[in-house]
Structure 1
Amino acid sequence: MLNAYRLGASLYVPATHHDVLNIANGTRWPELRSVIFCTEDAVLETALEAAIKNLRHALAHMTTNCAMLRFVRVRNPDILTQLLALPGIEKIDGFVFPKFDLSNVDAYMNLLHDSPYLCMPTLETRDVFETSKLNSLRDHLLGSGYQQRILALRIGGNDLLSLLGIRRPTDRTIYCTPLGHTIAQIVTVFKPFGFQITAPVFEHLNCPEILEAELSEDLAHGLCGKTAIHPDQIPIIEKGFRVTSTDLEAAQRILLDQRAVFQFNGSMCELATHRVWAQRIIERSR
């Protein structure tokens, strides 16, 4: 199983993009660690056929061994069925499922049965605002055995804001909108049960200082990666998720020190309560 921290800044690229092949092979942006080719919101209905044709051509020439993680964001289960039949689709690491909830969970997950693909379902429907429905979705994922195929859950920030009739302001993080509470709720419902969660897109390109502030909040909420909508966001996101030397040393001491509790750098370190945090810091640092 891949570690979700490998995702880093996941660049969203419309599947209609003219340079899908070079992006997928890592020659366009060598620093990119994960890419998601989108056939959903980033592609007009009238351009969907062209998008799939573009992917078919790229798959025929993609490298088989690539350090970058490559995903396709499908439009619906029918499109997933079409993509799974394409020659070369085995070069893709997995799929992103949009608007994922109890109404379509089995339709999506059953299509991946007995396949090697990972998936990243996106939580972005009205159900996200109801804790009882989030609990039911989590329990279904656990009870059905689907969890082992889920690399991470994604938060569809723009879709959720759209349901509220809100657009993210340019002068504050998403945590200063009603979604701050929603993100915290997703974290507390899913993370204690072993699910990893990635952070929503930051849609403004000329506010790097707000993006940096939001990344700090993403980390405080235990999120493990963030969607990028432009290559200029990649270094900012990667820097934001980089482990500081102080945190790395604290994590190593917590895991190696023989004492139950001790002081380091002005903070209490306690094995019983900080072990999981320390393990996650080590994973991020790798």
Structure 2
Amino acid sequence: MRDATSLGATLYLPTTRRDLGPIVSGTRYPELRSAVLCLEDSVRPDDLPAAMANLAALLPTIDPSGHGPRLFVRPRDPAMLARILQMPGIERIEGFVVPKATADSFPAYLHLLANHTHMLMPTLETREMFDLDQVRRLRDQLVGVQGRILAVRIGGNDLLQQIGARRSLERTLYEGPLAATIGALVAAFAPFGFALSAPVLEHFACHDLLRREVARDVEHGLLTKTAIHPDQVAIIHDGYRVEPSELAEARAMLAADSPAVFALSGSMCEPATHRRWAQSILRRAECFGIRHDPLAAVI
């Protein structure tokens, strides 16, 4: 399923966890749509042997019929990826998250995966992402293999680490030092047809802050988001639900007999400029449903 929107909230899971089986089977968190089995920063170096053994034991047990969340593995480096590709059952995952992707590091991963069909999600999280020339170098490289790039993931915490900062408990990412950087990354990749995922909010108990941030994610066209706690999943998915007015506008714009310009609910609708937005609205409604006014049932 080569569709980033349906990823929804992507839960990152250190492969040191002992409860991976119920999670990847879909029984622990049935609302979870995608997950990353992580062997990178979430695993201590001295725990790597156990984490790799845990992954090797898990892969053959994954149900290939499609039950449970879409699964990806995040290796630590190309050498680890080479080892993982030899594990029985590796064909049961959908793809790999490439950590700290740059124009210099990404080719090594791509070379190892040349004879595989796995999808890729490069993560933008190094100091090169503050250099637009380096961003363009990576972007142009990805254009050449765009059919294999499911989404480009923005690693907010690693980017903040590059400047010695941390997320606020009170403000969204768009009100902090990464606001311009996220905008620049969206501008560099989205016009070329790449889907981008929104960074994680590590303050997982701040539910109201997460709701506000998801709303800003959507405004930026970021329609999938990293999660690090299961409580975040439902909040993120709820934020992707579509307002009835948005759905009405999208359907009107995509109608075969739609005028070139028309008014609806006090807004100008112009299919030539709003078509891509309208298509994303319909896809969100299909994946996450429509937001209903609780008062409508009373009136």
Q: 1:67-106 counterparts in 2 under 5 A? A: 67=67, 68-106=69-107
Q: Residue 114 of structure 1: CA displacement? A: 2.7
Counterpart AA for 1:85: Q
1:46-89 deviation digits (Å, cap 9, x = unpaired): 01111110011111211111242101111111111111110011
Q: Provide the residue aligned with 2:21 in structure 1.
A: 21
What 5-or-longer segments of structure 1 have no aligned partner? none
1:176-200 deviation digits (Å, cap 9, x = unpaired): 1111100000000111101100000
Q: 1:128-167 counterparts in 2 under 5 A? A: 128-142=129-143, 145-167=144-166
TM-score of the superposed pair, with normalisation by structure 1: 0.97
Counterpart AA for 2:279: Q
1:142-191 deviation digits (Å, cap 9, x = unpaired): 2xx22110100000000000111001110000111111100000000111
Q: Provide the residue aligned with 1:178 in structure 2.
A: 177
Q: Provide the residue aligned with 2:215 in structure 1.
A: 216
Asked if structure 1 preserves the Cα contact closer than 8 Å seen for 2:195 and 2:222, the reply is: yes
Q: Provide the residue aligned with 1:233 in structure 2.
A: 232
Matched, 1:204 2:211: no
1:75-117 deviation digits (Å, cap 9, x = unpaired): 1111111111100111100010110001211001111113110
Counterpart AA for 2:78: P
Tell me how far apart the structure 1 counterparts of residues 2 and 18 of structure 2 sit (CA, whole Å). 29
Q: Provide the residue aligned with 2:272 in structure 1.
A: 272
Q: Provide the residue aligned with 2:289 in structure 1.
A: none
Which consecutive segments of 4 or more residues in structure 1 shift more than 2 A?
A: none
Tell me how far apart the structure 2 counterparts of residues 181 and 3 of structure 1 sit (CA, whole Å). 27
TM-score of the superposed pair, with normalisation by structure 2: 0.93
1:23-48 deviation digits (Å, cap 9, x = unpaired): 11111111100011110011000011
Tell me how far apart the structure 1 counterparts of residues 206 and 20 of structure 2 sit (CA, whole Å). 27
Tell me how far apart the structure 2 counterparts of residues 139 and 70 of structure 1 sit (CA, whole Å). 27
What 5-or-longer segments of structure 2 have no aligned partner? 287-299
Q: Percent identity?
A: 49
Tell me how far apart the structure 2 counterparts of residues 24 and 121 of structure 1 sit (CA, whole Å). 22
Q: Residue 137 of structure 1: CA displacement? A: 1.2
